[in-house]
Amino acid sequence: MTSRLARTFAHALLRRIPHGNLTIAENGQELMFGTRAPGARIEVLSPRAWRMLLRGSNGLAEAYAQGLWDSPDPTAVVRVAARNAPALDRLRARFALLLAPTQRARALMSHNTRRRSRRDIAAHYDLGNELFELMLDPTMSYSCALFEHPGMSLQEASLAKLDHVCRKLQLGPGDHLLEIGSGWGALALHAAGIYGARVTTTTISREQHAYTSEQVRRAGLQDRVTVLCEDYRDLRGSYDKLVSIEMIEAVGWRHFGTFFARCSELLRPDGAMLLQAITIDQDAYDVEKASKSFINTYIFPNGCLPSLPVIEQSVKRRTDMTVAHLEDITSHYVHTLRRWRASFELSAQRLTALGYDERFQRIWRLYLAYCEAGFTERRIRDLQLLITKPGWVASGSSQPISEQLLSRVAAG
């Protein structure tokens, strides 16, 4: 009875979708809702799926993880949902004031302490380096690549992005660069090995710290790269340049101001910061920031995407810095995620042998499809912001240093 009522209610909602179309197959019958592109297809394998689908993205994910529904193209399903999400955002925004006390209470219960931050980061980034090695390119870059030319491999595009970041920061041998969020060391190695900078990089993932430290040792860059396992709030020192690539999403919505204030304190008066951030529209941010969703429940515990206005306001209110340049690289993330998802699919047997069971793999397939669809429909965006201190003077893009100069720099 409950499943039938849930199905009836869901069908009533689907008949009202203004964008895209969705074909639902169940018990040998098919129903199509909507008539416009893009289109998607779902096969309902259990009536229990209807009750779960009414719980939003968490229900959608849990039902998929349990195999209660399937699709030949989960990305298309999420694209249809994303295309229709703005209308739902506006409806939810009307109730934002009513939800505010609940959001504040939830935020207090999930305060981003240092211990909690380490635990949340470990829940994703310490899942095992083998998982990420199978999915990512040899640089182990876990952020948007930059496909500057047709036909570029993922590795080439990742290297292009690293170059792009270093050039924006006008990085050179005389600079001391601070990186907040090491990943697996790709940027630190590139900045020190190709541009000759001195680099201090930090992560609170123990596996990333160990992996990056080993990569620095293998590259012979111990004299130029220092790898820390410290929370950004505990960092000390003064740096010429600062970079943070897709780390702000783990800061928590109540701490965005703290993050930018700390970055500003760590920079010299003529310094600059390059921030690469996945962002969400302001209307969606207002209702999503303290909500429980598929991504911040199953993938990045307690994560929160900032909006561009929130970033700009935090910089203005908590620092003496200025957003000097903004670049939207969202379209490149669609291609990046498509490559990650293809590698993940090809590695299914190997992942199973490593202990990543079918439920885990279904959750991660949906995660990669979910993000790809979000960027395709521009529900979420990926932005690079150059944020500068008052004394910053732009002097043109920097260039990779010569091997001869690199040898002299490495020799001290």
Listed in sequence order, the residues at least 6 apart from 361 whose beta carbon sits closer than 8 Å to its beta carbon are: 344, 348, 351, 352
Residue 277 one-letter amino acid:
A
β-pair type (21-26, 29-33): antiparallel
How many Å separate Cα 403 from the centre of its chain?
A: 34
pLDDT of residue 42: 97
Q: For 177, phi and psi rounded to 5 degrees?
A: -100, 130
Q: Which tokens is 220 given? A: 């012979």
Is the bond leading into 38 cis (omega within 30 degrees of zero)? Answer: yes
Strand 380-388 to 69-70 pairing: unpaired
Per-residue pLDDT for the chain (412 aa), expressed as one digit of tens each?
Answer: 688 999 999 999 899 889 999 999 999 999 999 988 899 999 999 999 999 988 888 999 999 999 999 999 999 999 999 998 877 666 556 555 555 566 556 555 567 799 889 999 999 999 999 999 999 999 999 999 999 999 999 999 999 999 999 999 999 999 999 999 999 999 999 999 999 999 999 999 999 999 999 999 999 999 999 999 999 999 999 999 999 999 999 999 999 999 999 999 999 999 999 999 999 999 889 888 878 899 999 999 999 999 999 999 999 999 999 999 999 999 999 999 999 999 999 999 999 999 999 999 999 999 999 999 999 999 999 999 999 999 999 876 566 654 444 444 344 3
- Write the CA distances from 199 to 166, 211, 308, 399, 400, integer angstroms: 12, 16, 28, 17, 15
DSSP β-ladder status, 225-228 and 239-245: unpaired
Q: Does the predicted model carry a pTM greater than 0.85?
A: yes
How far is Cα 387 from Cα 130, in angstroms, rounded to an integer?
35
Q: What pairs with residue 387 in β-bridges?
A: 273, 323
The catalytically annotated residue of 166, 263, 304, 371 is 371
Please calculate the CA angle 67-73-78 and round it to the nearest 5 degrees.
85
Q: What φ, ψ does residue 327 adopt, rounded to 5°?
A: -135, 135
* Amino acid at residue number 350: R
Task: Tell me if residue 371 is catalytic.
Answer: yes
Task: Collapse the DSSP code of 268 into the 3-class scheme (helix H, G, I; strand E, B; otherwise coil) and give the result.
Answer: strand
SS3 56: coil
Task: Specify the amino acid at residue 373.
Answer: A
What amino acid occupies position 328? D
- 367: nearest Cα among 359, 382, 306, 55: 359
176 beta partners: 198
Walk me through the domains of the chain, giving residue ranges and CATH numbers. 2-94 (no CATH), 114-410 (3.40.50.150)
Beta strands in 246-308, from DSSP E residues, in sequence order:
267-280
End-to-end CA distance of the chain: 76
* Cα–Cα distance measured from residue 159 to residue 191, given in angstroms and rounded to the nearest whole number: 11
CB atoms within 10 A of CB 50: 24
CB 385 within 8 A of CB 311: yes
Q: In whole angstroms, what is the distance from residue 246 CA to residue 194 CA?
A: 22
